[in-house]
């Protein structure tokens, strides 16, 4: 056992000399075995151990007894105990997760907290090859893709290590019996209400009667799929660079770019976008990825769907993923005074408008004469001599209309959005400059015709958009 675990640790580079390793101990056989093994290997590995325990408070007095047992074994081994309590049933009720999901997430946050704060360099978890087989089969039955079939990685980017990942559960119990070590039995592990328990106690044994090497076969599949995903992670870093646009809390990409990718790449790009917008891939299955892929392939210029924790919107050439409810109608409108020269900072990090007055030499044309076509970056100058009254900067509102340079008639700004294929979410805080009741300039559509720069213009009001949504 010790040599096999040491070989696994070396194979995956789990620990380095001098690292501080927290051993997650629930009190069950796997975690107790992990603690005993690492305690015996620690001098050889040059690592410093401590014990981590989270009381889920799911089994009343039994949970407290588990905590007492872990405290005793930590004291017996002379190791520091870092423990905490969490009311998982209450958390599950608040989040809508089932108990398994809620407990898993709470444990993850507990462990990653020590890594994120720099208290520990690694957290060792007691998952075995048997757990890996159960995970792969569980995910396969739920319709997982290659990433799901990769199961649990021996060492994650965050620093979660699984030294027992090549040891099967019967070997764990034999090792503890040989050492005379007791462990705690969690009665909930036999509860058939949980899908994992049905797989562990019913489905896997039935399949193993046909294929005794099933656990090893599933674990090998996880290894192969994991290696595939490690390659794809690096490849998607390259493919998505500069193409996935991060605008917290949203992530955006062009549909034509995504459709130009092979399906195997496109699916992984979508998963990357989901993770970036949502923070994780919890509750995300292949069906959600396929629905987003289908959304980008329709001829219609718009569409919308929801996945767990995400609102996905397609508008013209763009797709936007963001947590739901973050961009409602509340507090959308704004109206701000403007001075020239001066700067107006738009609310909600929408950028700024810088207003500059520029005197033109006699006979010299403005830098941007002529008409401004819809949705371009020209037409940023207004004839200052044609303006009388106070300037205001406000957001576009339904019904707003004006006659941009180059247009024969007044046009609704909403129609300009359509002509310019402006995504729906970009329109919400779209800035315009008004003088009295008239719009004299609109972002990217330029000045009103009645304020256009002409040969007789002597002073221009030049408008600079700073930090605007110019990617579109």
**Shortest CA distance to 243 belongs to which of 279, 273, 208?**
273
Q: Encode the chain (472 residues) as per-residue pLDDT tens digits.
A: 999 999 999 999 999 999 999 999 999 999 999 999 999 999 999 999 999 999 987 777 888 899 999 999 999 999 999 999 888 888 888 877 777 788 888 999 999 999 999 999 999 999 999 999 999 999 888 888 888 899 999 999 999 999 999 999 999 999 999 999 989 887 777 778 778 889 888 999 899 899 999 999 999 999 999 999 889 999 999 999 999 999 888 999 999 999 999 999 999 999 999 999 998 888 888 899 999 999 998 777 789 999 999 999 999 999 999 998 755 545 678 999 999 999 999 987 778 999 999 998 765 555 544 433 332 334 589 999 999 889 999 999 999 999 999 899 999 999 999 999 999 998 988 999 999 999 999 998 999 999 998 888 999 999 998 875 444 4
Q: Phi and psi at residue 291, in whole multiples of 5°?
A: -65, -40
What tokens were used for 187? 């009665």
The reply to whether 170 and 288 lie within a common domain is no
DSSP string covering 89-108, please?
Answer: HHHHHHH---HHHHHHHHHH
The confidence score (pLDDT) of residue 364 equals 53
The reply to whether 340 and 318 lie within a common domain is no
Q: Is the pTM of this model over 0.85?
A: no
Q: Match 């987003």 to its residue by tokens.
A: 292
The reply to whether 360 and 216 lie within a common domain is no
Angle at CA of residue 188, ends 183 and 194, nearest 5°: 135
Q: How far is CA 33 from CA 20, 39, 81, 189, 439, in A?
A: 19, 10, 17, 18, 74
Q: Is residue 294 part of a domain?
A: yes
The reply to whether 8 and 136 lie within a common domain is yes
The reply to whether 51 and 169 lie within a common domain is yes
**Shortest CA distance to 425 belongs to which of 335, 323, 345, 318?**
318
The reply to whether 136 and 8 lie within a common domain is yes
Q: How far is CA 206 from CA 128, 131, 201, in A?
A: 20, 16, 9
Q: Is residue 403 part of a domain?
A: yes
Distance CA 16, CA 251 (A): 36
Q: At 53, is the secondary structure helix, strand, or coil?
A: strand
**Shortest CA distance to 452 belongs to which of 381, 358, 401?**
381
**H helix and E strand count, the chain:** 15, 21
Q: Phi and psi at residue 212, in whole multiples of 5°?
A: -60, -25
CB 164 within 8 A of CB 7: no
Domain end residue (candidates: 322, 355, 376): 322
The confidence score (pLDDT) of residue 284 equals 87
Other C-beta atoms closer than 10 Å to the C-beta of 121 total 18
The confidence score (pLDDT) of residue 38 equals 97
Question: What's the structural domain count of the chain?
Answer: 3
The reply to whether 89 and 118 lie within a common domain is yes
The confidence score (pLDDT) of residue 194 equals 76
CATH number, domain of 391, equals 3.50.40.10
The reply to whether 315 and 414 lie within a common domain is no
Measure the N-to-C terminal CA separation of the chain; round to a whole number of Å: 59
Q: At 29, is the secondary structure helix, strand, or coil?
A: helix
Domain end residue (candidates: 166, 189, 224): 224
The confidence score (pLDDT) of residue 166 equals 94
Q: State the pairing for strand pair 81-85/122-124.
A: unpaired
Q: Is residue 203 part of a domain?
A: yes
Q: Is residue 234 part of a domain?
A: no
CATH number, domain of 123, equals 3.40.50.620
Look up the domain containing 293 and give its range. Answer: 242-322
Q: How far is CA 320 from CA 269, 271, 337, in A?
A: 13, 13, 32
The confidence score (pLDDT) of residue 342 equals 93
Q: Is residue 329 part of a domain?
A: no
DSSP string covering 307-332, please?
Answer: ETTEEEEEETTEEEEE-TTSS-STT-
CATH number, domain of 303, equals 3.30.465.60
Q: Is residue 230 part of a domain?
A: no
The confidence score (pLDDT) of residue 369 equals 43
The reply to whether 133 and 72 lie within a common domain is yes
Q: Is residue 302 part of a domain?
A: yes
Q: Is residue 442 part of a domain?
A: yes
What tokens were used for 296? 């980008």
Distance CA 170, CA 108 (A): 26
The reply to whether 215 and 292 lie within a common domain is no
The confidence score (pLDDT) of residue 471 equals 44
The reply to whether 100 and 57 lie within a common domain is yes
The reply to whether 50 and 127 lie within a common domain is yes
């Amino acid at each position: 056992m010790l040599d096999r675990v040491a070989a696994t640790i070396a194979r995956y580079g789990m620990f380095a000399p001098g690292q501080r390793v927290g051993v997650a101990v629930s009190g069950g056989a796997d975690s107790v075995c992990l603690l005993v093994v690492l305690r015996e290997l620690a001098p050889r590995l040059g690592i410093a151990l401590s014990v981590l325990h989270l009381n889920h408070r799911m089994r009343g007095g039994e949970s407290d007894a588990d905590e007492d047992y872990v405290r005793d074994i930590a004291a017996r081994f002379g190791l520091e105990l870092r423990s905490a309590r969490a009311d998982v049933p209450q958390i599950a009720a608040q989040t809508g997760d089932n108990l398994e999901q809620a407990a898993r997430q709470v444990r993850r946050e507990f462990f990653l907290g020590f890594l994120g704060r720099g208290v520990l360099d690694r957290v060792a978890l007691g998952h075995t090859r048997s757990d890996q087989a159960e995970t792969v089969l569980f995910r396969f039955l739920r319709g997982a893709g290659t990433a799901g079939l990769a199961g649990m990685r021996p060492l994650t980017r965050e620093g979660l290590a699984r030294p027992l990942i090549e040891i099967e559960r019967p070997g764990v119990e034999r090792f503890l019996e040989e050492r005379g070590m007791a462990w705690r039995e969690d009665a909930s592990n036999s509860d058939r209400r949980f899908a994992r328990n049905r797989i562990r106690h019913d489905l896997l044994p039935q399949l193993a009667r046909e294929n005794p090497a099933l656990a090893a076969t599933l674990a090998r599949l996880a290894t192969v799929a994991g290696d595939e995903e490690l390659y794809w992670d690096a490849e998607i870093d390259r493919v998505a660079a500069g193409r996935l646009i991060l605008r917290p809390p949203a992530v955006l990409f062009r549909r034509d770019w995504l459709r130009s990718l092979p399906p195997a790449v496109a699916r992984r790009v979508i998963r990357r976008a989901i993770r970036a917008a949502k923070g994780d891939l919890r509750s995300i299955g292949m069906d959600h990825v396929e629905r987003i892929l289908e959304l980008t392939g329709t001829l219609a210029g718009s569409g919308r769907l929801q996945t767990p924790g995400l609102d996905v919107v397609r508008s013209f050439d763009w797709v936007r993923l963001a947590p739901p409810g973050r961009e409602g109608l509340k507090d959308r409108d704004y109206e701000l005074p403007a001075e020239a020269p001066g700067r107006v900072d738009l609310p909600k990090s929408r950028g700024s408008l810088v207003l500059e007055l520029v005197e033109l030499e006699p006979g010299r044309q403005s830098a941007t004469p002529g008409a401004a076509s819809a949705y371009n970056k020209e037409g940023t100058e207004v004839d200052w001599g044609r303006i009388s009254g106070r300037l205001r900067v406000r957001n576009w509102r339904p019904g707003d209309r004006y006659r941009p340079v180059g247009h024969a008639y007044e046009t609704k700004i909403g129609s300009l959005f359509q002509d310019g294929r402006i995504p729906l979410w970009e329109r919400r805080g779209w800035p315009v400059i008004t003088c009295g009741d008239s719009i004299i300039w609109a972002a990217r559509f330029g000045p009103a015709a009645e304020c256009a720069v002409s040969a007789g213009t002597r002073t221009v009001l030049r408008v600079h958009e700073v930090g605007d949504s110019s990617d579109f």
